[in-house]
């Protein structure tokens, strides 16, 4: 009886070992170089590091990821090309830096569209699955395997912004193509300032207000130089995707791709929670540091006056000959945003 029990146990152990070996053989042995232009101090980095650790653990150690933060393996404006050409296996470029190469995907970076980071991230996933956007990624030889998000944008100022009249003549931090149109509509003055230069801009009086998501404002310690936190939600935008080189992706087995998709879905849920909480934590820290909370009193009037950035974007896509694709993307955005409101 004892022998039979031992034999069964040995057989079970052998079966487990064979199963584990078979599973391990389904995954490639790869060390993936991952290029990022932001630092590992931001909340989203926690999600990305968890994602990489889970890949290594669940693949039995055959899939590992080496992070190259803060442009250490390529400039922010080079990352899409680097991953598309295979110089790195993974990269997280900002699609908004590649408006000409990712015009349809850029819809998730419009201001004042998405009420929170969860809607922005979910919309990114839905838009990326549309055939025209899949083709857009194909042309760049990349596949998105995870979307991160950013908390809502607010302004931190050295002057009180309480009504629409307070925007007139105010020097606002600006960037890109769409934010300047917002400030123009409100009679403010656009001042293009890179994020690392905002602290000095506020300190020297070159700008009156920063425009950033709260966690980034906290990372740049803007509470040290701004006096007022304006309680006016300018909406959230999508964060950075993880792009994998498409040739590499296509060469992986269905099992390997499924592993990436499974862990990516879990990481996306984690991102939604962590990023939302990071924005709330930053706001609390601002007020604890002595910033005054200013309640904006004319939110409805501002929303009515602000440009309809989605309509503007559709018009721009139509001018590029992307009418049908843009309308499908815009319909997807409106459906998801409408369901959230």
Q: What is the pLDDT of residues 285-332, one digit of tens each?
A: 999 999 999 999 999 999 999 999 999 999 999 999 999 999 999 999
User: Which DSSP helix (H) or strand (E) runs through 19?
Assistant: helix 2-26
Look at residue 6 and tell me whether its pLDDT is greater than 70: no
Q: Are 224 and 156 in contact (CB under 8 A)?
A: no
pLDDT at res. 26: 85
Look at residue 175 and tell me whether its pLDDT is greater than 80: yes
Phi (first) and psi of residue 17, to 5 degrees: -65, -40
CA 206, CA 200: separation in Å to the nearest integer? 8
Paired tokens of 285: 């820290």
pLDDT at res. 20: 46
Q: What is the pLDDT of residues 267-287, one digit of tens each?
A: 999 999 999 899 999 999 999
pLDDT at res. 196: 82
CA 334, CA 123: separation in Å to the nearest integer? 10
Domains of the chain by residue range = 153-236+281-340
CATH number of 153-236+281-340: 3.40.190.170
- The whole-angstrom distance between residue 326's C-alpha and the CA centroid of its chain comes to 21
Q: What pLDDT band is residue 194 in, cutting at 50, 70 and 90?
A: confident
pLDDT at res. 25: 58
Which of 272, 216, 199, 244 lies closest to 35 in space, CA to CA? 244
Q: What is the pLDDT of residues 220-249, one digit of tens each?
A: 899 999 999 999 999 999 999 999 999 999
Look at residue 64 and tell me whether its pLDDT is greater than 60: yes
């Amino acid at each position: 009886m004892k022998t039979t029990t031992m034999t069964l146990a040995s057989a079970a152990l052998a079966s487990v070992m064979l199963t584990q070996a078979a599973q391990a053989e389904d995954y490639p042995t790869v060390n993936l170089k991952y290029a990022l232009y932001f630092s590992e101090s931001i909340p989203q980095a926690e999600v990305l590091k968890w994602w990489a650790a889970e890949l290594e653990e669940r693949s039995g150690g055959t899939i590992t990821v080496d992070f190259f933060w803060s442009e250490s393996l390529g400039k922010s404006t080079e990352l899409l090309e680097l991953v598309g050409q295979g110089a790195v296996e993974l990269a997280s470029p900002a699609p908004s830096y590649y408006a000409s190469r990712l015009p349809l995907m850029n819809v998730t970076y419009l201001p004042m569209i998405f009420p929170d980071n969860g809607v922005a991230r979910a919309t990114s996933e839905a838009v990326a699955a549309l055939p025209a956007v899949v083709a857009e990624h194909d042309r760049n030889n990349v596949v998105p395997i995870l979307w991160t998000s950013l908390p809502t944008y607010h302004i931190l100022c050295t002057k009180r912004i309480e009504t629409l009249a307070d925007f007139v003549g105010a020097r606002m931090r600006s960037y890109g193509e769409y934010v300047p149109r917002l400030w123009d509509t409100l009679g403010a003055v656009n001042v293009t300032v890179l994020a690392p230069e905002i602290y000095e801009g506020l300190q020297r009086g070159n700008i009156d207000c920063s425009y950033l998501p709260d966690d980034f404002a906290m990372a740049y310690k803007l509470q040290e130089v701004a006096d007022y936190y304006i309680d006016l939600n300018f909406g959230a935008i999508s964060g950075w995707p993880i792009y994998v080189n498409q040739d590499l992706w296509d060469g992986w087995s269905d099992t390997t791709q499924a592993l990436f998709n499974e862990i990516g879905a879990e990481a996306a849920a984690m991102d939604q929670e962590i990023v939302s909480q990071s924005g709330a934590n930053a706001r609390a820290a601002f007020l604890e540091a002595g910033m005054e909370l200013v309640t904006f009193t004319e939110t409805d009037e501002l929303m009515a006056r602000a440009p309809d950035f989605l309509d503007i974007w559709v018009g721009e896509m139509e001018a590029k000959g992307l009418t049908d694709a843009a309308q499908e993307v815009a319909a997807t955005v409106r459906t998801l945003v409408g369901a959230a409101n």
